[in-house]
């Protein structure tokens, strides 16, 4: 920052235009450096995933290059029943979590932002505080509770627990979006003859679609990437999800099948990457609105 | 079609603040009534109570012969046009207008017939497939009115519908609203803070202030015969001039308005009896800027001379506003642009005393 | 009178029906949070005061036991070091990145933003695996690069201090994009006229930063920092995957240590006690986040 200031003084006589051009190209250069650094791990994931086990252990030449690219790791995983199970489990739990979380939070957000009842203000604050409770604070008592319910090593315990991580923030985002809908819109709908449920379904949800998308992506992210709960509560491979399955299955004692692990990481990262590639704008808008407007 | 009546209607918010303090208002079938007043006067609250959007704390509201206090908005058979239009942003113009009918399970062809009819009246037929964001302010306003018309309700409610439009469009839409009312003849309650809108649209104007009705009357009545200083000052633009005064003897059995030693204006003979009881009391003299004219109509009965010191001159083209200061109180006169007025100089004017008002200083009541 | 009374009742009924609907819509949320957040929180306090077999009440014994243990003292140290260092670095790099992004035109911004967000998009548990692989003792890709410059191998995860730095590095890599997004949004919310007014008043770039940008962003900066402090402090994934707490328990944080003693060694009360040590710090940060958000809401309303 101070560098640009000094430059600003030196170039006071030159045109504003050239000053701005310098700042622009400087920014591009600095950003490029950051991008390269940030993309080193993903790049290395891709490189390794294309190598055969033999090439990895041979340690000949640069590890940053592929000499004999092969898709054998991917092929192995796609045809590997355990990996298929993890993928299906992850997908199933994610879909359920997103559906449950969105239903709960949209209903609650509508009620909290528009209808109100005794204590609803406190509840809004409570919801926000719940968002700040990290999973690592409560996973031990939850271990006991999941045990009582007989759901230890049962993938469905995740469908109960993941919503606790997703719902608070989703509700918070939705309250923000719903509050930004003009009050006259529900009044017009009331006069037009809509009930509160109709207002929610026919007016609020369509109008707040960007918020719904943002909240859905958040719930998806939480459910797809969560690590602690499945690691703590699941231990047989038929119940595992991707995040823990990859580690427990592809690392056998001291044998690290890095090519396959990296390929698995890549395959497991694909859904979030695809979703973010298309819906990034919604998510960023929801995230920043959630924290700054809320 | 229906009449609307408010009987001792009170609105009290949590914390005991009374927004509406027991108003009585009878609105006849087909009538166009405008509630006008400054912001916070309770006019919008009254309208929203009629709509059912606010609970009624006390009193009764009748629509078409039924008490509607406990009737939810959708069952009151009313339609409302909002200041920000409140169009559903995700629906096309057609769907916006059809929404209320769809919810009421009207048959498809009936919905189409009604929407087309409303679109024809409002001249928005070509817009039916568009989304609200693709419309201009005036077009949105029309759609909002269309949404009200298709329902063919007992009552139309307008809540400051023209406030978001620019000045030119406002005048245009004003005419439009009047035309629509002449076509459909639905009983209409219209809220505005703009007294010109009130005057031009209303069959009857209801002037409100501080949660009570100050005066109800035709536009001409509230303009020419205001009953209180508030109404006198609120209706008319620029506003009426008010000067503290005394009613004094003027010799020959007549009376005069004495503002100060320099300004003493004779009161027309036919009003002598009316003001005699207030002789010597502190009163307020009110005269509209348009009733202060150049000194050329002098001699006609009730036209009296008055000289004042010019403060600011504002030429407006078709007329010139001249501002004076009299004992610290501003006075404005609406003069012919040919008038030669210079700041810091005395200007002789004629006051049309047939059009003036005298108010009690304490109560503001016009006597 | 009778009519008035019955009407009053029906109006009340109307209002109460609305608030009943409102409550019912919130009920799933209340049940969810009640059963799986509030109840476990209180249950954790109870659990933390039992003995290992959960047969006897030991009061604050578990807490006292932990505090005396050298490993746990290391956990406290590493947790604080990890969280504070990582948050400061993330805030710093995030701030720089946000400014750089703000300098470039909006059309290309999206592409750059997309590239810079990649670390944050990949599930952390998966990207940490890649880092682990890059830090691998015998195959480390970093060591290969060092070798090319004639430098010796570094035992990345084998030595306490280096391993600590590694966990922090991964966290900074993962979390910086979040700060960038938040700060960029904050930067964009500063009205351009303020900068123009400052320019006319003769402010240079640094003065604009200190007298316009930072004060306008203060609230978002503090919200983001405190929020990140909570998340980072309670982080589990990175340490668990990268080092599992090693070498010699030197990189354990509260979460991973609780997992080890609570789930793996089966001493649930001790694990619960360990987790609860996080609570004061989290509550402290949460209080200020909430205050910041409330303030911000008021500012925006005004």
| Cβ–Cβ contact C11 with A under 8 A | no
From the candidates B69, B74, B76, which should be mutated to test the interface with C, based on the most C CB atoms within 10 A? B69
Q: Indicate the residue of C96, C130, C234 with minimum beta-carbon distance to A136.
A: C234
Residues of C in contact with A27 (CB under 8 A): 100-101, 103-104
- What order do you get walking across the sheet with B264-266 strand by strand? B264-266, B255-258, B241-249, B282-287, B357-360
CA A125 to chain C, closest CA, distance in angstroms equals 8
Q: With a cut of 50, say whether residue A8 has pLDDT above it.
A: no
DSSP letter assigned to residue B185: -
Residue of B nearest to C10 (CA): B70
Domain boundaries, chain A: 2-49, 80-292
Residues of B in contact with A185 (CB under 8 A): 86, 88
Q: What is the DSSP string of B292-348?
A: EEETTSTTSTTEEEEEEEEEEEEE-SS-EEEEEEETTEEEEEEE-TT----TTSEEE
Q: For the structural domain made of A80-292, what CATH number should be given?
A: 1.10.3720.10
Question: Reduced to 3 states, what is the DSSP secondary structure of residue C110?
Answer: helix
| Cβ–Cβ contact C282 with A under 8 A | yes
The winner for highest mean pLDDT among B198-207, B265-274, C155-164, C279-288 is B198-207
Are A136 and C298 contacting, i.e. CB atoms less than 8 angstroms apart?
Answer: no
Are B97 and B178 contacting, i.e. CB atoms less than 8 angstroms apart?
Answer: no
Are B232 and B61 contacting, i.e. CB atoms less than 8 angstroms apart?
Answer: no
CA A238 to chain C, closest CA, distance in angstroms equals 20
Q: pTM for the whole thing?
A: 0.85
Please name the residue ranges forming H helices in chain A: 2-10, 16-49, 53-58, 72-78, 81-110, 120-131, 135-148, 156-179, 183-192, 196-198, 205-207, 209-225, 228-233, 242-250, 258-292
Question: Reduced to 3 states, what is the DSSP secondary structure of residue B180?
Answer: helix
Q: With a cut of 60, say whether residue A174 has pLDDT above it.
A: yes
CA C3 to chain B, closest CA, distance in angstroms equals 12
Q: Indicate the residue of A184, A191, A202 with minimum beta-carbon distance to B73.
A: A191
Residues of B in contact with C10 (CB under 8 A): 70
| Cβ–Cβ contact C223 with A under 8 A | yes
CA C158 to chain A, closest CA, distance in angstroms equals 16
Range A151-162 average pLDDT: 92
Closest to B98 measured CA to CA, from B108, B84, B86? B108
Q: With a cut of 80, say whether residue A252 has pLDDT above it.
A: no
B60 strand-pairing partners = B7
Give kind and range of the element (H or E) at residue C26. helix C2-33
Question: Reduced to 3 states, what is the DSSP secondary structure of residue C233?
Answer: helix
Contact C10 B72 (CB under 8 A): no
Q: With a cut of 90, say whether residue B155 has pLDDT above it.
A: yes
The winner for highest mean pLDDT among A238-252, B184-198, B292-306 is B184-198
Per-residue buried b or exposed e for C117-154, using 16+ beta carbons within 10 Å of the residue's own CB: bbbbbbbbbbbbbbbbbbbbeebbbbbbeeeeeeeeeb
* Separation CA B319–CA B307 (nearest Å): 20
C 5-24 residues with CB < 8 A to B: 7, 10-11, 14-15
Q: How many CA atoms lie within 13 A of B272 on its CB side?
A: 11
Q: For the structural domain made of C68-301, what CATH number should be given?
A: 1.10.3720.10
Residues of B in contact with C15 (CB under 8 A): 55
pLDDT level of residue B249 (50, 70, 90 thresholds): confident
Q: What is the pLDDT of residues C98-129, one digit of tens each?
A: 999 988 887 888 889 999 999 999 999 999 99
Tell me, what's the pLDDT at C10?
52
CA C96 to chain A, closest CA, distance in angstroms equals 9
Domain boundaries, chain C: 68-301
| Cβ–Cβ contact B70 with C under 8 A | yes
Q: What is the pLDDT of residues B52-86, one digit of tens each?
A: 998 899 999 999 888 998 888 888 999 999 988 89
| Cβ–Cβ contact B154 with A under 8 A | no
| Cβ–Cβ contact C36 with A under 8 A | yes
> Residue A277: is it exposed, middle or buried by C-beta count within 10 angstroms (0-12/13-18/19+)?
exposed
Positive or negative, the Cα torsion across B96, B100, B104, B106? negative
Tell me, what's the pLDDT at B337?
86
Q: What is the DSSP string of C146-205?
A: HHHTTPPP--TTTSHHHHHHHHHHHHHHHHHHHHHHHHHHHHHHS-HHHHHHHHHTT--H
B39-45 CB contacts, 8 Å cutoff, 24+ apart: B39/B193, B41/B208, B41/B209, B41/B210, B41/B211, B42/B11, B42/B208, B42/B210, B42/B211, B42/B212, B43/B191, B43/B193, B43/B206, B43/B208, B44/B159, B44/B160, B44/B191, B45/B11, B45/B19, B45/B20
Output the average pLDDT for chain B.
Answer: 90
pLDDT level of residue C179 (50, 70, 90 thresholds): very high
| Cβ–Cβ contact C214 with A under 8 A | no
Chains that touch A (3 or more CB pairs under 8 A): B, C
Are A191 and B80 contacting, i.e. CB atoms less than 8 angstroms apart?
Answer: yes
DSSP letter assigned to residue C104: S
Cα of first residue to Cα of last residue in chain A, in angstroms, is 32
């Amino acid at each position: 920052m101070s560098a640009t200031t000094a430059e600003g003084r030196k170039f006071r006589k030159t045109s504003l235009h050239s000053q701005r051009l310098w700042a622009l190209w400087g920014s591009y250069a600095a950003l490029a450096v950051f991008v390269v650094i940030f993309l080193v791990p993903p790049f290395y994931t891709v490189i390794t995933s294309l190598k055969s086990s033999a090439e990895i252990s041979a340690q000949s030449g640069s590890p940053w290059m592929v000499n004999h690219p092969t898709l054998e790791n991917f092929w192995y995983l796609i045809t590997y029943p355990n990996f298929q199970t993890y993928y299906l489990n992850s997908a199933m739990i994610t879909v359920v979590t997103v559906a449950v979380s969105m239903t709960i939070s949209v209903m609650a957000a509508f009620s909290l932002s528009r209808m109100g009842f005794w204590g609803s203000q406190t509840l809004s604050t409570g919801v926000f505080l719940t968002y700040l409770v990290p999973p690592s604070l409560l996973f031990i008592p939850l271990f006991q509770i999941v045990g009582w319910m007989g759901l230890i090593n049962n993938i469905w315990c995740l469908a109960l627990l993941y919503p606790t991580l997703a719902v608070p923030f989703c509700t918070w985002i939705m309250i923000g979006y719903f509050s930004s809908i003009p009050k006259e819109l529900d009044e017009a709908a009331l006069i037009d003859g809509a009930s509160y449920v109709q207002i929610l379904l026919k007016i609020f949800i369509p109008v707040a679609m960007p918020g719904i998308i943002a909240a859905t992506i958040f719930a998806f992210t939480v459910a797809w990437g969560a690590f602690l709960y499945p690691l703590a509560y699941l231990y047989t491979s038929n119940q595992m999800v991707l995040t823990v399955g990859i580690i427990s299955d592809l690392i056998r004692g001291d044998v690290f099948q890095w090519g396959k692990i990296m390929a698995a990481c890549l395959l497991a990262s694909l859904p979030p990457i695809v979703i973010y590639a298309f819906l990034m704008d919604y998510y960023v808008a929801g995230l920043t609105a959630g924290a700054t407007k809320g | 079609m229906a009449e609307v009546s408010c009987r001792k209607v009170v609105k009290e918010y949590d914390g005991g603040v009374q927004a509406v303090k027991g108003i009585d208002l009878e609105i006849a079938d087909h009538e166009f009534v405008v509630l006008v007043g400054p912001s916070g006067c309770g006019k919008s609250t009254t309208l929203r109570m009629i709509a059912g959007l606010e609970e009624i704390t006390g009193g009764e509201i009748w629509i078409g012969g039924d008490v509607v206090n406990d009737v939810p908005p959708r069952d009151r058979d009313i339609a409302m046009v909002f200041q920000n239009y409140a169009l559903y942003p995700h629906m096309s113009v057609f769907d916006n207008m059809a929404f209320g009918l769809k919810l009421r399970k009207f048959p498809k062809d009936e919905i189409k017939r009604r929407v087309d009819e409303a679109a024809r009246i409002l001249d928005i037929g070509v817009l039916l497939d568009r989304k609200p964001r693709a419309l201009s302010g005036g077009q949105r306003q029309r759609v909002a009115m269309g949404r009200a018309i298709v329902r063919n309700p007992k009552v139309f409610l307008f809540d400051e519908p023209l406030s978001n439009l620019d000045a030119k469009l406002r005048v245009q839409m004003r005419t439009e609203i009047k035309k629509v009312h002449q076509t459909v003849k639905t009983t209409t309650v219209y809220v505005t803070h703009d007294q010109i809108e009130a005057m031009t649209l209303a069959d009857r104007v209801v002037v409100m202030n501080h949660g009570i009705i100050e005066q109800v009357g035709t536009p001409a009545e509230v303009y020419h015969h205001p009953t209180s200083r508030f109404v006198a000052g609120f209706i008319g633009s620029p506003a009426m001039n008010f000067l503290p005064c005394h009613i004094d003897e003027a010799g020959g059995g007549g009376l005069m308005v004495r503002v100060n030693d320099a300004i003493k204006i004779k009161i027309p003979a036919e009003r002598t009896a009316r003001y005699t009881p207030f002789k010597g009391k502190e009163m307020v003299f009110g005269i509209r800027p348009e009733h202060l004219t150049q000194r050329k109509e002098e001699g006609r009965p009730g036209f009296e001379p008055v000289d004042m010191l010019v403060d600011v001159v504002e030429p407006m083209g078709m007329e010139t506003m001249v501002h004076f200061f009299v004992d610290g109180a501003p006075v404005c006169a609406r003069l012919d642009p040919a008038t030669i007025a210079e700041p810091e100089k005395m200007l002789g004017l004629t006051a049309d005393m047939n059009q003036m008002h005298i108010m009690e200083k304490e109560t503001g009541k016009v006597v | 009178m009778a009519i008035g009374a019955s009407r009053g009742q029906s109006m009340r009924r109307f209002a109460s029906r609305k608030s009943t609907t409102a409550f019912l819509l919130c009920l799933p949320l209340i049940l969810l949070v009640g059963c799986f957040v509030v109840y476990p929180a209180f249950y954790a306090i109870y659990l933390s005061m039992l003995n290992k077999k959960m047969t006897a009440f030991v009061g604050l014994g578990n807490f006292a036991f932990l505090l005396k243990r050298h490993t746990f003292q290391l956990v406290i140290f590493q947790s604080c070091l990890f969280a504070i260092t990582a948050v400061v670095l993330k805030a710093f790099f995030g701030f720089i990145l946000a400014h750089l992004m703000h300098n470039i035109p909006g059309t290309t911004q999206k592409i750059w933003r997309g590239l810079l967000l990649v670390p944050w998009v990949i599930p952390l548990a998966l990207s940490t695996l890649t880092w682990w692989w890059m830090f691998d003792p015998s195959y480390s890709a970093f060591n290969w690069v060092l070798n090319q410059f004639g430098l010796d191998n570094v035992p990345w995860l084998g030595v306490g201090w280096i391993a600590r730095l590694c966990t922090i590095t991964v966290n900074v890599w993962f979390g910086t994009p979040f700060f960038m997004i938040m700060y960029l949004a904050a930067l964009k919310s500063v009205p351009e006229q303020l900068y123009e007014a400052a320019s006319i008043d003769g402010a240079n770039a640094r003065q604009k930063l200190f007298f316009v940008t930072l004060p306008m962003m203060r609230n978002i900066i503090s919200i983001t920092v405190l929020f990140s402090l909570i998340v980072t402090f309670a982080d589990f994934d990175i340490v668990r995957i990268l080092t599992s707490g090693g070498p010699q328990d030197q990189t354990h944080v509260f979460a991973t240590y609780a997992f080890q003693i609570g789930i793996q060694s089966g001493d649930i009360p001790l694990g619960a006690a360990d987790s609860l040590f996080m609570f004061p710090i989290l509550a402290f940060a949460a209080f200020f986040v909430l205050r910041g958000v409330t303030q911000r809401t008021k500012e925006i309303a005004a």
